[in-house]
């Protein structure tokens, strides 16, 4: 078993070989916390959650680090509009980000690291860059001199001439137009920290490399984020870290997620075409959302349509219904019938194909199709066979739960099936008869329900029902 990953740097699928055997170090760019997170963020963070789950499932000892950008132009601007302290505003939205992460059942991240709490590491990196001649100080800040780093542009595959056309942070004091800032000198009303070059605050890119170096070292295995981060953010990170360490590459595998789009445009705060995660989760079940996202490969864009989430919900219900029908049909142990032996082979085949799909650059849509094919097979079997061997039933249900768990679906213990309204009313009527000790009516209703395929059980916690097999 070899995992293959698409590396945005080489633009090829490569065999996944971590730097130190089974130990994998992964950094994923976290949010800039100036507003509520939306479904576009969910798309990216769920994708990396699934990737992390798969790597651990395959036996890798994964350490997953995410930074929190809590110092940034956008935060300062929003804080000014709201007349609030920028760091307080950042904490508020960070809190709601953590709630979103929990509600999305993302549980693979080991450490979150805030930029504001890594100022010594950030300053230390800038000092080393100045010492080595890669950075220079001006009136407005400290800048990285991209002309000193010959590989600048290698990740985004842009040549130096092309790069000159990007106007990053226009400032007459810069040596080259495309130089980016490592430190911004203090401006009135902005948060600031002391540094050897004067009071100010860090640039965005250096926050991430300082954090990554502290927890992961100068070279690590995976760096991820949305596709918009390739340039200039990730390009700048490479320039900073490789200039400091002299070691290449900083990262073995660069992974980037495709956008969640609305009518062809990226879902984004600035475009006002977003649905917050909180609002989405009021409308949709988290497992339906996770199924919706994973039905597209992580690198491909997704077009957002409510209809597609509804379809995911229906598909998920069908999978649960298959699991319920397996539960309802368990018979005691014994020899397997020929059909059951064929089913056992089908389960093994599905597990193998699911693994192959995930090993091939985390192909979740293909992996999911294996679960749906297995469910279809089971449903067809139940057309002719009314019960199923206990060992095989357990194997089947465990397979659905185990593989579904990679995507983050089929994790609910027992799914309550809804009874049709008329049957529910009959049960209530029987309850009322029992309360007035009208045993005859209660018995008649029990019999009637039985004829309709529903068995009642009177327990100390009240009446329970199950479908007759
Ligand atoms: P931000 O808070 O804007 O820095 O974004 C945090 C992460 O979410 C980055 O990796 C972005 O690329 C990603 N992201 C933002 N919007 C979308 C979107 N519409 N689709 C997919 N990923 C997104």
Which residues does 377 contact at the CB level (< 8 Å), separation at least 6? 343, 346
pLDDT tens digits for range 135-171: 999 999 999 999 999 999 999 999 877 777 766 777 8
Mutational pocket test of ligand 1: of 44, 293, 304, the residue with most ligand atoms within 8 Å of the beta carbon: 44
* Cα 226 to middle of ligand 1, angstroms: 5
Alpha helices in 83-167 (DSSP H): 86-103, 119-131, 160-164
Indicate the SS3 state at residue 206. Answer: helix
Measured from the CB, is residue 321 less than 6 Å from ligand 1? Answer: no
Q: Structure pTM?
A: 0.89
Given this model, what pLDDT does residue 465 score?
Answer: 73
Choose the weakest-confidence range: 47-61, 340-354, 418-432: 418-432
Mutational pocket test of ligand 1: of 41, 204, 294, the residue with most ligand atoms within 8 Å of the beta carbon: 41
Q: Could you please report the per-residue DSSP string of 280-325?
A: HHHHS-HHHHHHHHHTS-TTS-EE--HHHHHHHHHHHHHHHHHHHH
Given this model, what pLDDT does residue 409 score?
Answer: 98
Given this model, what pLDDT does residue 469 score?
Answer: 47
Q: Whose CA is nearest to atom 1 of ligand 1?
A: 31
Overall average pLDDT of the 401-411 stretch:
98
Return the ligand 1 atom nearest residue 69 CA: 4
Nearest 5 degrees, angle CA 374-CA 380-CA 381? 90
Determine the Cα–Cα distance for residues 336 and 416; give it in Å rounded to an integer.
29
Overall average pLDDT of the 211-222 stretch:
98
Q: Above 70 in pLDDT, residue 398?
A: yes
* Cα 101 to middle of ligand 1, angstroms: 14
pLDDT tens digits for range 325-354: 899 888 877 899 999 999 999 999 999 999
Indicate the SS3 state at residue 344. Answer: helix
The tokens describing 224, both together, are 């991820």
Given this model, what pLDDT does residue 424 score?
Answer: 82
């Amino acid at each position: 078993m070899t995992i293959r990953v698409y590396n945005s740097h080489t633009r090829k699928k490569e065999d996944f070989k971590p730097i130190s055997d089974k130990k994998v170090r992964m950094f994923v760019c976290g949010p800039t916390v100036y507003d509520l997170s939306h479904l576009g963020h969910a798309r990216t963070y769920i994708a990396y959650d699934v990737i992390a789950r798969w790597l651990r499932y395959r036996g890798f000892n994964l350490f997953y680090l995410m930074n929190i950008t809590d110092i940034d132009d956008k935060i300062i601007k929003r804080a000014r509009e709201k007349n609030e302290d920028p760091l307080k505003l950042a904490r508020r939205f960070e809190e709601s980000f953590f709630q979103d992460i929990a509600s999305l059942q993302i549980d693979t991240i080991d450490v979150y690291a805030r930029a504001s709490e890594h100022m010594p590491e950030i300053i230390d990196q800038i000092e080393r860059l100045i010492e080595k001649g890669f950075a220079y100080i001006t009136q407005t800040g400290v800048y990285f001199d991209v002309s000193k780093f010959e590989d600048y542009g290698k990740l985004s595959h842009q040549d130096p001439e092309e790069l000159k056309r990007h106007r990053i942070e226009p400032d007459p004091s810069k040596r080259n137009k495309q130089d980016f800032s490592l430190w911004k000198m203090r401006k009135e009303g902005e948060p600031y920290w002391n540094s050897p070059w004067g009071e100010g605050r860090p640039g965005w890119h250096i926050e991430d490399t300082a954090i990554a170096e502290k927890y992961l070292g100068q070279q690590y295995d995976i760096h991820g984020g949305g596709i918009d981060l390739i340039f200039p953010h990730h390009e700048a990170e490479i320039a900073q870290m490789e200039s400091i360490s002299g070691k290449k590459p900083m990262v073995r595998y660069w992974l980037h997620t495709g956008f969640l789009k609305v009518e062809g445009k990226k879902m984004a705060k600035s475009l006002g075409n977003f649905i917050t995660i909180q609002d989405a989760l009021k409308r949709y079940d988290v497992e339906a959302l996770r199924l919706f996202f994973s039905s597209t490969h992580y690198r491909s864009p997704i077009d957002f349509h409510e209809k597609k989430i509804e379809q995911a919900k229906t598909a998920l219900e069908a999978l649960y219904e298959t699991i319920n029908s397996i539960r309802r049909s368990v018979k005691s142990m014994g020899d397997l019938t020929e059909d059951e032996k064929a089913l056992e082979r089908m389960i093994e085949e599905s597990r193998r194909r699911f693994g192959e799909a995930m090993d091939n650059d985390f192909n979740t849509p293909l992996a999911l199709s294996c679960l749906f094919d297995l469910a279809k097979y089971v449903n067809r079997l139940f057309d002719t066979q009314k019960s199923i061997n206990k060992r095989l039933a357990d194997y089947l249900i465990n397979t659905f739960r185990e593989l579904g768990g990679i995507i983050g679906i089929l994790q609910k213990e027992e799914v309550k099936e809804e009874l049709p309204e008329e049957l529910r009313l009959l049960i209530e009527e029987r309850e009322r008869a029992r309360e007035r000790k009208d045993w005859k009516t209660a018995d008649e209703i029990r019999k009637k329900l039985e004829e309709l395929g529903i068995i009642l059980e009177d327990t100390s916690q009240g009446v329970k029902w199950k479908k007759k097999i």
